[in-house]
Amino acid sequence: MLRRINKGERGFTLVELLVTIAILGTLFGIVTLALNGLANNSTANIKAAELSQVQTAVDIYLAANYPGTTAVTARTAAAVVASADTDAAFKAYLRSLPTQYSYSWDTAGNVTQP
């Protein structure tokens, strides 16, 4: 039949607890190493996506106002694109302002990021 547990036999042994802690520590170490570079990769991806969004806004602005407008006012010093900018005529084509990162562009509409 089934063995009954006496009152003094409750709980885990020290060896069982140490093995459990060792396993959890190993798993934590593996997960930490796997997630280590994700923050840097996500920042680079956000910058690339926003640069693409600003470039698309410039392209749409030039296409929508063609043939009257074939160039944009150049911005040589990189700065955040904000709603008060006078040299960013394409800002109406951006979904959210101000942008998170700084950009500059030439008169042909080529957007760059420092």
Spatial contact of 105 and 57, defined as CB atoms under 8 Å apart: no
Q: How far apart are the first and last CA of the chain?
A: 77
Given a cut of 90, whether residue 88 has pLDDT beyond it is: no
Is 8 among the domain residues? Answer: no
Distance separating alpha carbons of residues 114 and 49, to the nearest angstrom: 15
Is 48 among the domain residues? Answer: yes
Given a cut of 60, whether residue 2 has pLDDT beyond it is: no
At residue 109, what is the residue type? G
- Residue with the larger pLDDT of the pair 22 and 113: 22
Residue 4 has what pLDDT?
58
Is 61 among the domain residues? Answer: yes
Question: How many distinct structural domains can be found in the chain?
Answer: 1
Is 94 among the domain residues? Answer: yes
Domain of residue 104, residue span: 40-112
Is 84 among the domain residues? Answer: yes
Distance separating alpha carbons of residues 96 and 20, to the nearest angstrom: 49
